[in-house]
Structure 1
Amino acid sequence: MSYACYTSEKNGREQGHGVPAVCDHPDCTNEIDRGMGHLCFENPNIEASCGGFYCSDHSDLSVTITEDEFDGLDDDEALELAQSYGLDEVPVFDEDGYFYICNHKPIEYKESRKWLQFIHDDESWQTWLEKEPVRAARIKAWLESGTAQFFKVKNLTEGDMEDKKDIKIRLESHAQYLEAWDLMVKLGYESDLKPHACQFLYGHANGRLGVDYFDVEGADLSSPNTAEGYFVRHDNKEVTLGELREMANENN
């Protein structure tokens, strides 16, 4: 099966009728699709829309007020009606006579396992994966990390590196390096190239991954001077490999 989809300028995700998705309301796991019927206000061109997709339980958090509702009301009645919508004053309607209120906050940007698995496996997406190596690596790392129903991402158009910390990772072995790299990708750190092996892996506050590495396939990183195996953040807090796993799971 294939899907007719396009990338949203509002949230940076692929959308279209039938595209598998999970409701973007916090903690909701209802499965939907990314057709217009589930989009906030059912119209991507409405400026007030958050760009999220919602199940029937949470779609009513998008409120459309019509100018007709205020016809014939005096000033006090109009203000009272506006306040019933949570407004401090009578709204200014657009040229079509509508005013929009989005109460979908906070929004959880989610990608469903079914959709990411399709992107990863389907032949028609291979060219896209080659052109998007960072997103491809992130998708692959997450799919291999477990069986969770969905993956939370930040709004790609707003930049998903805002909250990154400086993390220095000292590695004990090649296997640890491979695991740590995938965990950092899952946490949202990016790099255009994954080296063969490295002694130190750095996650910078700007969201980029950097390395001091031995560029040799299967390099032995178990010598005494690399065996400390600890992770130091910019605030000098030591972070173990287990804690790094927990950080990645919390981001799941």
Structure 2
Amino acid sequence: MHKIIVRNGLQIMLGAFIYAVAITDFLIPHQIGEGGVTGLTTIGYYALNIPPFLTNFVLNGILMLIGFRFLDKKTVGYSIWAVIWISVFLKLPSFLNYHTTQTIIPAIAGGVLMGIAMWLIFRGEGTVAGSTILAKIMNRYFGMKNGTAMLMFDLCVAVPSVLIIGLQNMMLTIIELYVSAVVLNGLLSRFGARKAVTIISNQTAEITAELSTMLHQGITLISAKGYYHQEKRPMIYIICTDKQVAQIVPLVSTVDPDAFVVVDNVHSVKGESLEKIL
């Protein structure tokens, strides 16, 4: 448990650093906004010259109270850790000092970095508060993807920002938000995704024994009956990773070349050694 807390804490710190770099080196220097609390942070800086770290800390502190009501305490604790470190890194001087007249570049680069940062923080079981708190709630209670829910809430802040940053930069902000959502959804789906493998064979016992030796994890046998032949036989059902699928299919073919194998994407799994897909 201690190792998990340390790992998550370090992962969140790395995500917070990348998040701050996206803001201080790509968004703010090029007058590009954001969504949610981060969008309000940039607007506060552009319009009133309020330090971004201060706005981030105060507004997210308020939203954390909402998190206490709807999210588990572990997520809230990690989120507070993320907000603290984002505020710390936002207070530091610019890291890259990057400037360009090609404004589409910082919009795309900022979106990619935002997506990576939020993925790291989500993998560390936290959030960056703001719209991610609302996205977590939508994911938990309505099954909406985190990136999609965040994009929806972020647009509510990004579109009105046209009054402060102008039409062109507002459009760049929407591009940045879209890129961020795509990157976040892609990373969450690619890293940590699970597969469900169903195997139907006349040599169930032999295949199960081989799979148990190779995988060292639980394997489920489901009673089934074929309609055409009215023959009863168990089906093998396994939740595994993409890497394990690449091992399972050749092994099954070796034991029984006529085996019927079905591989499905799994949207959510929960268990002692498997992570919930966000």
Common fold by TM > 0.5: no
* Greater per-residue strand proportion: 1
* Greater per-residue helix proportion: 2
Higher-RCO chain (CA-CA 8 Å, sequence separation at least 6): 2
